[in-house]
Chains A and B, each alone.
Chain A
Amino acid sequence: MSHFYHFDTISLHAGQTVDPEFGARATPIYQTTSYVFPDTDTAASTFNLERGGHVYSRITNPTVGVLEQRIAALEGGSAAVCTASGMAATFCAITAILSQGDHIVASSQMYGGNVSLMKNTLPRFGIETTFFDPTDLDSFKAAIQDNTRLIYGELIGNPGLDILDLDAIVKVGNDKHIPVMVDATFNTPYLCRCFDYGVNITIHSVTKWMGGHGTAIGGVVVDGGNFDWGATDKYPTITEPYAPFQGINFWEEFGPSAFATRIRAEAMRDFGAMMSPMNAFLLLQGIETLSLRMDKHLSNTEALLEHLSNHKQVSWVSHPDLSSHSSHELAKKYLPKGAGSIVSFGVKGGRDAGKAFIENVQLASHLANVGDAKTLIIHPATTTHSRIDADALVAAGITEDMIRLSVGLEDVEDIKADFENGFRAARKFADA
């Protein structure tokens, strides 16, 4: 009978062939720029995409390749390409299929870097974006234009944690024959495999939960292999001959891996946004324990949601696992294990109380990252969004008392105790 390995086994083994020379059990770090060809025919055929293998580490690298194949396997995708960062992954994925005059429909609930890329950078190259409210499907449908070539969103939106309704979004994508690309950083394939819902491409900042230890920046694009690029003439970069590779037609020759192969052939070569082998090694160590860490992230999050919801100095708590959250039903549908470990909450006393809270916790780290093994907090009103006024903060879904919390893996009782230091300092502003 057929048997497929399960998630935890794939996390540990997928993509790796045990080193045949020395038997190294861990994936070796192939810290090399280039690879010796045994003969000219092998060199020519590797260059010309006639055989698998490595030419130059800007294009492929054995250590990075293990990580790519492992993530593709975890996601259920046909192929993956790792990049220097999550933003590089987004840029490479978009430019693989969009050109001047094309249009993106994107969720407004996204990481600021994604918003800036689509709002400020891509228009300089003739690619425009219309943003939609992920809680308003009518606005999403209305945003689709004749030249729309991509639908983009984050499954767990940032910063409001609104959940993208994948079934509804994918249905429109299928009807209009537009691929759906989802930034799955906050959920990881352990909480939701987006391809199971018909999403066509996923992006990750593997810097976050996938790596999980705050030691390496990286990104990945995963090709779901489930989009029929040849059904229309809207995607010529995939379906028309590509001159730099002797007129290769990615769709004809690579089928379900056509999109990933285009990224490999063009973006990695021309933009050079490769992941380093050392980073790939570090990220592999993290992925080996992905499910264990995510379970602990979720159990700590659940405990803290209860603690914060009942705390007299907390004015509000937001997380999709709470019934009060507008995306609670969608969270139950798409993220049944739990809707991730980012929590937003308000400290009574406004901006000064939030600031005092941040400055007086000791265990939680005050920094601009999420998805680390360690608990991280930030006060957006005095840091990431300190230069905008109160009205603009509201428009961005950020209140002056808001603390963004990335729940770590510490003993949850220690996190609670640490937070009491912050609440104690914030109390005088609440009482004022």
Chain B
Amino acid sequence: MYFDVKGKRVFATTGGKPFDNSLPCVIFLHGSGLDHTFWGLHSRFFAFRKYAVLVPDLPGHSHSEGPPLKSIEEIGEWLNDVVETLDINNISIVAHSQGVLNALEFVSHHPERVRSVSFITSGLATPVNPALIDAAENNPEAAVAMMVGWGFGPAGHLHQGPIPGSSMVAGGRKIMLGNTPQELATDLKACDAYKNGREAAAKIGGPIQVILAGQDRMAPRKATDELVKHLKNPEVTVIPESGHMVPQEVPNQCRDLLKYFIYANNPAS
């Protein structure tokens, strides 16, 4: 669906059901250069189980009007604008990669409507190699190759996966190429500049889930350990065989973890 936030057109998929803000809501947040389709199977699953689902494209990404926002802090405030515009309550946030940083900012400043938080494959900060930022601005094909190459684990690179006929690597590449050069480069710079993760993490209360990947080359274990260390009593699960793109590489395991956590902490009627 499309809606306006402060005069800008925003697109969000609602998982195949009309959006109903009276229901408990799962908001899915995508990572750098990606869009709502990253969460395809998951959004549909919750939408058909009495949850309102909202999967926005960040400003400037795919179907949402630009320009892209330049800092994680701005995105956090924009998320609050989205929530207020649609008057959403009883929210479960599910965030992946850069989406985790965006969620840290949003939830730490606006915790009142949030019932649970699920963080997938990220640290407290995401320093980005200058060569990658440079490639995103000047050689998008190379930047996307790096992102997709590092992002997917062994199964992704062999085009394996539980969705018959689909190539995760090719699909991810197509989405990301559609969000270059400006959106990807802006996202990466925002990640690189973000320094408030530790402070934000400490402010977050309530149920927190962290899902990590054993083959993650984008968010190394040292970085994800920092996130876990500064959160209050998170439920931590590591999926050994997955790369960084957990929701796509091991969607069934990821969905089962999300399902039990959200059902327990933000139940639908």
Residues of A contacting B167 in the complex (Cβ-Cβ under 8 angstroms): 69, 72-73, 77-79
Cβ of B40 and Cβ of A68 under 8 Å apart?
Answer: no
- Interface presence of B171 (CB below 8 A): yes
Asked if B149 contacts A79 (CB within 8 A), the reply is no
Which B residues touch A17, using CB under 8 A? 155, 160
**Interface contact B165-A255, CB-CB below 8 Å:** no
Inter-subunit contact A78/B174 (CB<8 Å): yes
Report the stretch among B43-51, B104-112, B221-229 that lies at the interface: B43-51
Inter-chain contact A254/B158, CB cutoff 8 Å:
no
Contact yes or no, B252 A52, CB < 8 A: yes
Contact string against B for A residues 12-48, beta-carbon threshold 8 Å, 1 for contact and 0 otherwise: 0111110000000000000000000000000011001
Assess whether B255 is interfacial by the CB under 8 Å rule. yes
- Name the A residues within 8 Å of B150 (CB-CB): 2
CB distance from B22 to the nearest CB of A (A): 20
- Nearest-neighbour CB distance to chain B for A249, whole angstroms, equals 7
Asked if A72 contacts B45 (CB within 8 A), the reply is no
**Interchain CB contact under 8 A, B166 and A78:** yes
B35 A255 Cβ-Cβ under 8 A: yes
The answer to whether the Cβ of A51 comes within 8 Å of any Cβ in the partner chain is: yes
Residues of A within 8 A of B162 (CB): 51-53
Please state if A69 and B159 are interface contacts (CB–CB under 8 Å).
yes
- Contact partner of A60 (CB less than 8 A), chosen from B41, B165, B171, B174, is B165
The verdict on B16 contacting chain A, using a C-beta distance below 8 Å, is yes
Q: Does B13 sit within 8 A of A, measured CB to CB?
A: yes
Interface centre among B45, B155, B171 (most CB of A within 10 A): B171
Task: Give per-residue flags for A244-273: 1 if the beta carbon is below 8 A from chain B beta carbons, else 0.
Answer: 001111001111110010001000000000
- CB-CB contacts below 8 Å: B94-114 with A: none
Contact pick for A253, options B43, B63, B161, B169, CB 8 Å: B43
Q: Mark A60-97, 1 if CB is under 8 A from B, else 0.
A: 11101100111011001111111000000000000000
Q: Specify which of B13, B36, B158 is in contact with A13 (CB 8 Å cutoff).
A: B158
Shortest beta-carbon distance from B116 to chain A in Å? 20
A230 CA to B64 CA, complexed, in Å: 13
Are the CB atoms of A2 and B146 closer together than 8 Å? yes
| Binding stretch for chain B, among A3-11, A116-124, A385-393 | A3-11
Q: Give the CA-CA distance A3 to B175 in the complex, in Å.
A: 19
Q: Which residue of A lies closest to B144 (CB)?
A: A2
Are B45 and A255 within 8 A (Cβ)?
no
Determine if B44 and A253 form an interchain contact, defined as CB atoms under 8 angstroms apart.
yes
B16–A247 contact, CB under 8 A? yes
Q: Is the CB of A253 within 8 A of B251?
A: no
Shortest CB distance B225–A (Å): 24
* A70 CB contacts on chain B under 8 angstroms: 159
Residue A218 CB within 8 A of the other chain = no
Nearest CB in chain A: distance from B79 CB, A: 20
User: When each residue 30-44 of chain B gets 1 if its CB lies under 8 Å from chain A and 0 otherwise, what string results?
Assistant: 000001110011011
Contacting pair B13 A257 (CB below 8 A): no
User: With a CB–CB cut-off of 8 A, which chain B residues contact A82?
Assistant: 165
Q: Indicate whether B148 reaches chain A with its CB closer than 8 angstroms.
A: yes
In the assembled complex, the CB of B264 is this many whole angstroms from the nearest CB of chain A, namely 16
**CB-CB < 8 A to B171: which residues of A?**
78-79, 225, 255-257
Return chain B residues, CB-CB under 8 Å to A64.
164
Question: Nearest B residue to A80 by beta-carbon distance?
Answer: B165
- B39 to A, closest residue via Cβ: A253
Please, which residues of chain B bring their CB within 8 A of the CB of A256? 37, 170-171, 174-175
Given the contacts A77-B170, A256-B174, A50 and B164 also touching, CB distance less than 8 Å: no
Q: Are B158 and A15 in contact (CB under 8 A)?
A: yes
Interface positions, chain B 134-192, Cβ under 8 Å from A, are 145-146, 148-150, 155, 157-167, 169-171, 174-175
Known contacts A69-B165, A225-B170, A260-B165; A253/B159 CB under 8 A: no
Indicate which residue in A5, A72, A225, A248 contacts B158 across the interface (CB closer than 8 Å).
A5
Q: In chain A, what residue has the closest Cβ to B151?
A: A2
17 pairs of residues in contact across A and B, judged by CB atoms under 8 Å: A4-B149, A5-B158, A15-B158, A50-B41, A50-B48, A51-B255, A52-B166, A60-B165, A61-B164, A69-B165, A69-B166, A72-B159, A252-B36, A253-B16, A253-B44, A255-B171, A256-B171
Q: Which residues of B does A touch, CB under 8 Å?
A: 13, 15-16, 35-37, 40-41, 43-45, 48, 62-63, 145-146, 148-150, 155, 157-167, 169-171, 174-175, 251-252, 255
Further contacts, 8 of them, CB under 8 A, given A2-B150, A76-B170, A77-B170: A50-B41, A69-B159, A78-B171, A225-B170, A249-B16, A253-B40, A255-B37, A257-B171
Chain A residues with a Cβ under 8 A of chain B: 1-5, 10, 13-17, 44-45, 48-54, 60-62, 64-65, 68-70, 72-73, 76-82, 225-226, 230, 246-249, 252-257, 260, 264
